[in-house]
Structure 1
Amino acid sequence: MAKLNRGTVKDFPGFDARADAEVCRKAMKGLGTDEESLMKVLIHRSNAQRQEIASAFKTLYGRDLMDDLKSELTGNLERLMVGLMRPARLYDAHALKHALKGAGTDEKVLTEILASRTPAELRHIKQVYQEEYEADLEDAITSDTSGYYQRMLVVLIQANRDPDSRTDERLVEQDAQELFRAGELKWGTDEEKFITILGTRSVAHLRKVFDKYMTISGFQLEETIDRETSGALEKLLLAIVKCVRSVPAYFAETLFYAMKGAGTDDDTLTRILVSRSEIDLLDIRHAFRRNFAKSLYHAIQKDTSGDYRKALLLLCGGEDD
Structure 2
Amino acid sequence: MATNPCSSSQGLQKDCQEIHDAKGQLNYLVCACLALRTQPERQQLRETYMAMYGEDLLYGLQKTQVTNQSNEIYELLSLWMLDQHERDTVVANEAIDERRETNYKALVEIYVGRKSSHLHLVKQAYQAKFKRQLEQDIISCEPTHSYQKILIALATSHKSHHADVSQHVAKCDARRIYETGEGRPGAIEESVVLEILSKRSIPQLRLTFSCYKHIYGHNYTKSLKKDASGEFEDALRVVVECMCNPPTYYAKALYTCINGSKTEKSTLARVMVSRAEIDMDEIKVVYKKNYGIELKDAISERIPSGNYREFLVALATK
The alpha-carbon deviation at position 137 of structure 1 amounts to: 0.8
Q: Does the alignment pair 1:18 with 2:13?
A: yes
Tell me the C-alpha RMSD between the 2 structures.
Answer: 3.0
Task: Report the CA distance shift for 1:13/1:34 in structure 2 as closer, same or farther (over 3 A).
Answer: closer
Task: Report the CA distance shift for 1:218/1:277 in structure 2 as closer, same or farther (over 3 A).
Answer: closer
Task: Report the CA distance shift for 1:200/1:215 in structure 2 as closer, same or farther (over 3 A).
Answer: same
Q: Does the alignment pair 1:101 with 2:93?
A: no
Q: 1:156 aligns with which of 143, 154, 157?
A: 154
Q: Does the alignment pair 1:43 with 2:29?
A: no
Q: Does the alignment pair 1:124 with 2:118?
A: no
Aligned identity (percent) is: 25
Task: Report the CA distance shift for 1:54/1:144 in structure 2 as closer, same or farther (over 3 A).
Answer: same
Give the TM-score, by structure 1 length: 0.81
Instruction: Say whether the 8 Å CA contact 2:32–2:310 is kept in structure 1.
Output: no
2:152 maps to a residue whose letter is V
Task: Report the CA distance shift for 1:121/1:281 in structure 2 as closer, same or farther (over 3 A).
Answer: same
2:41 maps to a residue whose letter is Q
Q: 1:77 aligns with which of 73, 97, 116?
A: 73
2:151 maps to a residue whose letter is L
The alpha-carbon deviation at position 132 of structure 1 amounts to: 1.7
* Corresponding residue of 1:139: 136
| 1-structure distance, mates of 2:130, 2:281 | 33
* Corresponding residue of 1:180: 178
1:35 maps to a residue whose letter is N
The alpha-carbon deviation at position 58 of structure 1 amounts to: 4.2
Q: Does the alignment pair 1:88 with 2:81?
A: no
Task: Report the CA distance shift for 1:34/1:219 in structure 2 as closer, same or farther (over 3 A).
Answer: closer
Instruction: Say whether the 8 Å CA contact 2:303–2:309 is kept in structure 1.
Output: yes
Q: Which residues in structure 2 correspond to 1:1-321 (within 5 Å)? A: 13-16=7-10, 17-26=12-21, 28-29=22-23, 33-62=25-54, 64-67=59-62, 69-70=64-65, 71-72=67-68, 74-103=70-99, 104-144=101-141, 146=144, 148-158=146-156, 159-161=158-160, 163=162, 165-169=164-168, 171-184=169-182, 185-202=184-201, 205-214=204-213, 217=216, 219-227=218-226, 229-231=229-231, 233-307=232-306, 308-317=308-317
1:176 maps to a residue whose letter is A
The alpha-carbon deviation at position 142 of structure 1 amounts to: 0.8
Instruction: Say whether the 8 Å CA contact 1:214–1:220 is kept in structure 2.
Output: yes
| 2-structure distance, mates of 1:215, 1:274 | 34
| 2-structure distance, mates of 1:293, 1:186 | 39
**Range 131-140 or range 52-61, more displaced:** 52-61
Give the TM-score, by structure 2 length: 0.82
The alpha-carbon deviation at position 153 of structure 1 amounts to: 0.7
2:61 maps to a residue whose letter is M
User: Which segments of 5 or more consecutive residues in structure 1 lack a partner in the other structure?
Assistant: 1-9
